[in-house]
Amino acid sequence: MSAASSSNPPSSSSSSSPSSLSSSSADGPPNVVQREGATLDTPRRHAHKFGGSSLASAAHYRSAAGLLDDGASSRWVVVSAMQGVTDALLRLVADARAGRDWQADWGALQQRHIEAAALLDSGDALSSQLHDEFAALHGELAALAAPVDGAHDPGHALPGLGEVLSSRLMHAALGGDAAGWDRLDARDVLVTQPGELGCAIDWPATEALLAQWLERHRGTQVVVTGFVARDGQGRATVLGRNGSDWSAAIFARLFAAELLTIWTDVDGVLSADPRLVPDAVRLPSLSYAEACELAYFGAKVLHPQTLVPLQQRGVAVRIRNSARPDCPGTVIGPDGGAAARHDDGHPHPVKGLSLVENLAILDLSGSGMAGVPGTAERLFGALREAGVSVTMISQGSSEHSICCVVRADQAEPGRAAIARAFAEAIEAGQAQGVTVTPDICVLAAVGDGMVGTPGVAARLLGGLAQARVNVRAIAQGAGERNLSVAIAAGDATRALRSAHSAFWLSPQTISVGVIGPGQVGRALLAQLASSTFDGHDEGIDLRLRALADSRRMCLAAVRLDPADAIARLADAAAPGASVDDATTALDLDAFAAHVRAEHLPHALIVDCSGNDAIAAHYPRWLAAGIHVVTPSKHAGSGAWSRYQAIRTASAAVAGRGHAQFRYEATVGAGLPVIQTLRCLLDTGDVLLGIEGVLSGTLAWLFNRYDGSVPFSALVREAMALGYTEPDPRDDLSGTDVARKLVILAREAGCALSMDDVAIESLVPEALRGVSRSEFLERLHELDAPMQERLLQARASDRQLRHLARLELAAGEVHATVGVSSLDGGHAAVHTRLTDNLVQFRTRRYADNPLVVQGPGAGPDVTAAGVFGDILGIAQTLGAQA
């Protein structure tokens, strides 16, 4: 669980938006957190807290001051130290204690504050105050070199000076006393006392001191130091690292605030750490319970103790980004809205996912433990005596074993303590001993919406199974708002991403990579750009994340817009390019690894390249669970061994519902040729033969060729119309048609290869090895042979067509490609100019073949065939495409 950082500079003119809170009565604290989009009331008493990242410079202080103009009648502002100052003070203390030189760093820290003061206050008063504070710090650091007498550490409170200095800077940025602002040093009123669970607030003493302070001050506009306090003996102390949030909550309660806004460098609480989960979304609202769970499990936005004072009075807290004040942030209150919609506009039962790392599992097992009262008490009593904190507990109903998750550095002391407590049982064989499983992390799913919602655990465990993550232990309390699983640390990122996708993404979210932005690839990108699938209402999210040509590839962290993907490939710095996107030299292994993102449920590569070397990668991609779609004929008609490898890889993975190999566009572009053949065979029909016009170019040539113009003239016209390949011999050779016939034969179960096809080339032997330019100069040499064949056909009242034939009879396979003389009743004689036509003659369709006919060439129809394969895969995954 985390939040997204922002590097945007602060705006000095920004102001906060209205609060997210309405009061339940005229005087009492609020008890209703308003949803986004509702009419929001302005709180009368508004507490603010600014983190160090929001106070990094004088400009940030000015920007923060502008954010306070929210219409509230009373405002208290709690400040952290300037960014990096607390760390600097800790280093000064450490250096002073160790006898190292700290003078230079002390001087640099003083100069930083003096320079900020000069920009915020034109007078000398503020600089003089800061000089006095640093002079006192200098004396205290010098004294640290002496041995410490007694239990009190004189350097313990020094890191709190950063907040004291910051409060003076903020007071000046707001106009100081002249503008009606008071400054409160929390050490004057905030009293702490030791407690069983650590540092606690002495509320009676604190309230009494605050009342005395208020008697001497106006108390309606106050700047307060965070982090610092005094103990019961009056000695300065601090509330613990990141305790400024806790300070803000304490003073919000003391101030009887209706809302506490914590200004930081994040947009709010996110559903997961965005550094690990690129699809993490902002959570508009959380309940106190949800926020407490997430804070305990490592959410970086809130100090775990922050909510305690607020819950007692029902005060809501809002997390907002000081650099992006227009963002509404996250509201935390009594009611987080179990059915609230997140930034993606859709409800989710789980609000957030967190990881706790550096853990280990302690497991005590033994048949003699079953049904024995007090086993758990002995185990946890032993851990308590050893000072070991337990993160998670799991025990099966058989009572054969009980395990708990502890911090990794406490695993060995915990193991030893349990072993001592159960020494007799272990010696007697009633318990098998204590085992330690290191390198464990706990993944927690948190949300009020989980309560009473069936299937939450199934979705979580299903997502982990999809990512091949093994669950070592699982725990869920009766409250149902936290489901935790212990997993191997090495699986942490993959598990978090898969769990996030299980709850926040469409189950049919597909990570797509396209290779080959040629004519077909560009047409496909255009069709993807114009599609309307949004991942929820349509049940499918086609997410283009990678594009490659023969030299480069562009990899997007989240998604590429298909409309400008080609421009992004050409220029990584194209307008709108994400800093997470990268254009680099083509690396097919890296390309496939990126497409097979661990945080997305499915992956698909579309190969529009027509490159035989790329087809060689298909078996590896399919074996990795990546679907493959292609209009390229190389895989389907290439080496038989590679074809078998592709089929084997696809079949092996398909049993788990993962990878599919689809290639409908290889034969008839957008025509359902392979789909029709597959349907015939799957329903028990028997294929007897196939005849077809399988080239749009050759179909056009022979539909036009009637002897009125030379055949060579038609070839030149087809070139001008863009119907042919750059070298027309690629069409006239018949090789492309033969590849399509091999693909159909293999689909029918025939072990056919290109060498088994009798191919008639229309290119004379003398022209096959010459250059393209020479071939075009001698193109007229095709005319006489073709004219003779035309006359022979007409003499028998027949017509010429380029035809592919596959005959299956008596266990033998005969495949031919070439020009045929057909009578007027043949379907191929009646096709339109560039139509493809395939006749299936089967046992059911023996006398009247089944015909598939239509446009079989052109980038748009071919891309449509590819798109149809993509949607077909999505439908098998459950999408209603």
Would you list the DSSP string of 769-817? SS-HHHHHHTGGGGHHHHHHHHHHHHHTT-EEEEEEEEEEETTEEEEEE
Contact (Cβ atoms closer than 8 angstroms) between residue 744 and residue 841: no
The answer to whether the beta carbons of residues 61 and 83 sit under 8 Å apart is: no
- CA–CA separation, 36 and 20 (whole Å): 8
**């997390």: which residue's tokens?**
319
Length of the chain (residues):
881
**Token pair belonging to 787:** 């004219």
- Grouping H, G, I as helix, E, B as strand and the rest as coil, residue 398 is coil
Taking the C-alpha atoms of residue 249 and residue 49, their distance in angstroms, rounded to an integer, is: 9
Amino acid making up residue 691:
E
795, 825 contact by CB (below 8 A): no
Looking from the CA of 663 toward its CB, the CA atoms found within 13 Å total: 25
End-to-end CA distance of the chain: 33
Determine whether 809 is exposed, middle or buried from the number of CB atoms within 10 Å of its CB (0-12, 13-18, 19+).
exposed
Backbone angles phi, psi at 370, to 5 degrees: -60, 125
Compute the distance between CA of residue 588 and CA of residue 512 in angstroms, rounded to an integer.
14
Considering 49, 300, 351, 740, which one is annotated as catalytic? 740
Pairing assessment for the beta strands 835-842 and 850-855 based on DSSP bridges: antiparallel
Q: Which amino acid, 104?
A: A
Dist CA 626 CA 649 (whole Å): 10
10, exposed or middle or buried, with CB in 10 Å at 0-12, 13-18, 19+?
Answer: buried
* Catalytic residue check, 633: no
Q: Which secondary-structure segment (H or E) carries 238?
A: strand 236-238
Given a contact cutoff of 8 angstroms between Cβ atoms, the answer to whether 814 and 807 are in contact is: yes
d(CA 242, CA 635): 59
CB 775 within 8 A of CB 727: yes
Tokens 């097979």 sit on residue: 596
Q: What is the dihedral of CA 195, 200, 201, 205, to 10 degrees?
A: 20
Q: Is 750:813 a contact under the CB 8 Å cutoff?
A: yes
Within a 10 A sphere around the Cβ of 620, how many other Cβ atoms? 14
Specify the pairing of strand 661-662 against strand 626-629.
Answer: parallel
According to DSSP, residue 43 is labeled: P
Q: How many CB atoms lie within 10 A of CB 139?
A: 9
Token pair 């990096």 is found at: 84
Rounded Cα distance, 597 and 278, in Å: 11
Residue 201's beta-bridge partner residues? 192
Enumerate the active-site residues: 740
